[in-house]
Amino acid sequence: MADALQHAPSPAASRNGDVEQYDVLILGAGVTGLYSLYRFRELGFSARAFEDASGVGGTWYWNRYPGARFDSESYTYGYSFSEELLQEWDWKELYSGQPENERYLNYVADKFDLRRHIRFNSRVASCVFDEAENRWEIETDDGHRARGRFLITAVGLLSAHYVPDFEGIHDFKGPWCHTGRWPKEGMALAGKRVGVIGTGATAVQLITEIAKEVAHLTVFQRTANYCAPLRNRPITDEEQEEIRVNYPEIFRKCMETPGSFLHEFDTRSALEVSPEERMAQYERLWQEPGFKKWLGNFYDVMMPGEANEDYAEFFRNKIRERVHNPEVAEMLVPKDHMFGSKRLPCESGYYEVYNQDNVLLVDVRKAPIQRITPNGVKTADAEYELDVIIYATGYDAVTGSLNRMRIQGQGGLTLQEKFAQGPRTYMGIQSVGFPNLFTINAASVGNFVRAAEPLVEWVSECVAYVRDNGYRRIQPTQDSEDGWTQHVVEGGEKILRTQADSWFVGANIPGKARFLLTAPDSAPMMRAKRAEVVANGYEGFHLE
Choice between 281 and 498, CB closer to ligand NAP? 498
Which stretch in 117-125, 207-215, 252-260, 388-396 sits in contact with ligand NAP by CB under 6 A? 388-396
Q: Which of 10, 101 has the CB closer to ligand NAP?
A: 101
User: Rg of the chain over CA atoms, in angstroms?
Assistant: 24
Looking at 70, 112, 136, 182, which residue binds ligand NAP (CB under 6 A)?
70
- Of 91 and 395, the one with the shorter C-beta distance to ligand NAP is 395
Question: In sequence order, which ranges of 54-97 are alpha helices (DSSP H)?
Answer: 59-62, 74-77, 83-88
Q: Is 9 in the site for ligand NAP (CB under 6 A)?
A: no
Instruction: Say how far apart CA 194 and CA 356 lie, in whole Å.
Output: 14
CB of 202 to ligand NAP, least distance (A): 3
CA separation for the pair 304, 306 (Å, rounded): 7
Q: Which residue stretch of 12-20, 215-223, 482-490, 522-530 sits at the interface with ligand NAP (rule: CB under 6 A)?
A: 215-223
Binding residue for ligand NAP, selected from 201, 427, 517, 526, defined by CB under 6 A: 201
Query: Is 511 in contact with 352 (CB distance < 8 Å)?
Result: no
SS3 of 501, please?
coil
∠ CA 36-37-43, rounded to 5°? 85
Can residue 333 be called a binding residue for ligand NAP (CB under 6 A)? Answer: no
Q: Give me the least distance between CB of 34 and ligand NAP, in Å please.
A: 18
Alpha carbon of 52 to those of 160, 371, 484, 529: distances in Å? 12, 31, 32, 33
**Residue among 223, 414, 425, 480 that touches ligand NAP (CB under 6 A):** 223
State the Cα–Cα distance between residues 153 and 401, nearest whole angstrom: 9
Torsion over CA of 108, 109, 111 and 114, rounded to 10 degrees?
Answer: 140
Beta carbon of residue 412, minimum distance to ligand NAP (angstroms, whole number) = 33
Cβ-based nearer residue to ligand NAP, 9 or 164: 164
Please list every residue from 117 through 136 that binds ligand NAP, using CB under 6 A: none
Q: Does 503 bind ligand NAP (CB under 6 A)?
A: yes
Q: List Cα–Cα distances, 222 to 140, 235, 388, 405, 488, in angstroms.
A: 37, 36, 19, 30, 29
Tell me: does residue 209 bind ligand NAP (CB under 6 A).
no
If the CB atoms of residues 156 and 454 are measured against ligand NAP, the closer one turns out to be: 156
Scanning 46-54, 99-107, 194-202, 525-533 for contacts with ligand NAP by CB under 6 A, the matching segment is 194-202
β pairing state of 124-130 and 135-140: antiparallel
Do residues 353 and 208 touch, judged by C-beta distance below 8 A? yes
Structural contact between residues 531 and 457, judged by C-beta atoms closer than 8 angstroms:
no
Residue of 197, 219, 386, 440 interacting with ligand NAP (CB under 6 A): 197
Q: Which is nearer to ligand NAP, 223 or 480 (CB)?
A: 223
Taking CB positions, which residue lies at the least distance from ligand NAP? Answer: 200
> Which residues in the 336-355 window bind ligand NAP by CB under 6 A?
343
Report how far residue 461's alpha carbon sits from residue 467's, in angstroms, rounded to the nearest whole number. 10
Contact status: 498 vs ligand NAP (CB under 6 A): no
CB of 499 to ligand NAP, least distance (A): 14
In angstroms, the CA 193 to CA 121 distance is 33
Q: Report the interhelical angle of 448-468 vs 237-256 (nearest 10°).
A: 60
**Residue 508 within binding range of ligand NAP, rule CB under 6 A:** yes
66 binds ligand NAP (CB under 6 A): no
Interface residue with ligand NAP among 71, 137, 387, 453 (CB under 6 A) is 71
Binding residue (CB under 6 A) for ligand NAP from 202, 232, 308, 498: 202
User: Which of 19, 116, 145, 164 contacts ligand NAP by CB under 6 A?
Assistant: 164
Q: In sequence order, what are the residues at sequence separation of 6 or more whose Cβ sits closer than 8 angstroms to the Cβ of residue 385?
A: 193, 375, 376
Q: Which stretch binds ligand NAP (CB under 6 A): 29-37, 202-210, 301-309, 354-362?
A: 202-210
Q: Indicate the residue type of 227.
A: C
How buried is residue 238: exposed, middle or buried, by Cβ count under 10 Å (0-12/13-18/19+)? exposed
Tell me what percent of the chain is helix, strand and coil, each rounded to the nearest 5: 40, 20, 45
> Between 62 and 150, whose beta carbon lies closer to ligand NAP?
62
Residues near ligand NAP (CB under 6 A) are: 69-71, 158, 164, 197-203, 205, 220, 222-223, 343, 364, 369, 392-395, 503, 508
